[in-house]
Structure 1
């Protein structure tokens, strides 16, 4: 089931086309990354699906229904840098958020602080929080009312490695507890570590979308090594079906069309030709590598 369906969204700012007919579906229970460099249209996209901006054309639906104030109560969001009163505690800041948004109730504040692991610091002033803690408090505010969906714009932006790790672990934990999470990011490594699905944008155009595994796999790559690498390379250039063989640090990568590589046949071919392999595995492509392949074309 799709939580969100986006169909042919377009948005322009003067002569700039921020979105050029973008379409994708967000599966229920997924951690869906909207990935792209600065200026690719990520924040514009999130602003439209949260009713902050109006699209020029196209449409979207939540739970198969057009957006409405009632449906909006099921969505928690973090679109900008956390903005709380520095001299107030986490609890009092969330009381104000609750009063303004009308989502959840005061009794739920302790529960959301426990979810984001800030309960022990609930009475501390916001000014005493680290950047990671401030971001977690912003996510706590988004969790008021126990929304089924969280929409997060660059949730690790500006954080140090410790803060990034904290937010990464929190997103994974929230996903395990049943939240569907839609997050925009330009940090490829973080998206790869937490997201189950991804949409890649480039200057307002959707390059690709789908599960992370589907996006990564455009061909099969078998990684091999042997005691005589030159001899192995010469042999692998003759193996049926390969499209490319190249040296990568201490191993050789043998490329095959998607879905055609059979490691056992590679092993048998080498053995039949007098080479015993020391290493044999299917290599998984990094999202960073695939991202640059897609966006540099």
Structure 2
């Protein structure tokens, strides 16, 4: 079941078209990354689905409920830089957040602090927190009321490698516990490590969407290690599904259209042809390389 569906969302700021008919679906239980260069419409899209902005055209549904008719308390969100009282403790900041938002209860505060690994610092002032801790406190605020969905805009923005690793670990933990997470990010390596699905935007247009593996797999590339590359190339040329064979150091890269290469069949063909194989593996393209392929044209 999809928790969120967008149908041809348009949004303009004067002459600038921020979103141009974006349609996508977010399946329940996924970590869904929304990617794009600066100005691609990521934050505008998140603002619309959180009812902060209104779309000019199109509609969206949460849990099969049109537009803003969904239960807002079912969505935890972090859209901007964490904004808390610097002179108050983590607990007291969350008490204020709970009172204003009406989400969750005071009894839940210590529980969400445990979830984000801040319980031991619950009585420390916000001003003493590192950037990673501040970001985790903001996520704790979003977790009040135990929402089934979290929407996070650049959750690792401005963090050092330690802070990024902390947020990555937290996102994985929340996902394993069943929370659907929608996040916008420009850190492609981090997205590849935590996301199950991605959508890529460019100047307000949806370029592609799907599972991470689907988006990456624009072609099949099989790494083949053999003792005699010349003999292997001669044996493999003309085999069904193979479009090209390239040399890459001590490996051959066997290429074909997406879904065309059968490693088991290629292994059997080489064996029957007397070709000894010492390495056989499908190569996975990095998300960063695929992203630039899709957005550079």
CA RMSD of aligned residues (A): 1.6
2:24 pairs with 1:24 = yes
Aligned to 1:7, the other structure's residue is in SS state strand
- Counterpart secondary structure, 1:255: strand
2: CA distance, partners of 1:106 / 1:250: 62
Residue in 2 aligned with 1:87?
Answer: 87
**Whole-Å Cα distance in 2 between the matches of residues 150 and 186 of structure 1?**
18
For residue 268 of structure 1, what is the aligned residue in structure 2?
Answer: 268
TM-score (normalised: structure 2)? 0.95
Long gaps (5+) in structure 2: none
Give the secondary structure class of the aligned counterpart of 2:151. Answer: strand
State the secondary structure of the residue aligned to 1:170.
helix
Size of the aligned set, in residue pairs, is 297
Say whether residues 1:289 and 2:289 are aligned partners. Answer: yes
Task: Name the counterpart of 1:209.
Answer: 209
Distance 1:78 1:220, change over 3 A: same
Distance (Å, rounded) in 1 between the aligned partners of 2:205 and 2:226:
44
- For 1:280 and 1:14, the matched residues in 2 are separated by 54
Residue in structure 2 matched with residue 257 of structure 1 by the alignment: 257
Name the residue aligned to 2:162.
162
Q: CA deviation at 1:296?
A: 2.4
| TM norm structure 1 | 0.95
C-alpha change, 1:133 and 1:69, in structure 2 (3 Å) is farther
Instruction: Identify which range, 162-171 or 206-215, moves more after superposition.
Output: 206-215
Other-structure match for 1:6: 6
User: Could you tell me how far 1:136 is from its partner in structure 2?
Assistant: 0.3
Equivalent residue, structure 2, for 1:176: 176
Within 5 Å, give how 1:227-266 maps onto structure 2.
227-233=227-233, 235-266=235-266
C-alpha distance in structure 1 between counterparts of 2:54 and 2:73, whole Å: 19
Deviation >6 Å, runs of 4+: none
Q: CA deviation at 1:70?
A: 5.8
Point out the more displaced range, 120-129 or 269-278. Answer: 269-278
> Which segment is superposed worse, 208-217 or 270-279?
270-279
Q: Do the aligned partners of residues 250 and 189 (structure 1) sit closer, same or farther apart at CA in structure 2, a change above 3 Å counting?
A: farther
Whole-angstrom CA distance in 1 between matches of 2:70 and 2:263: 53
- How far apart in 1 are the matches of 2:187 and 2:250? 28
Q: Show the counterpart of 1:185.
A: 185
CA distance in 1, matches of 2:195, 2:102: 30
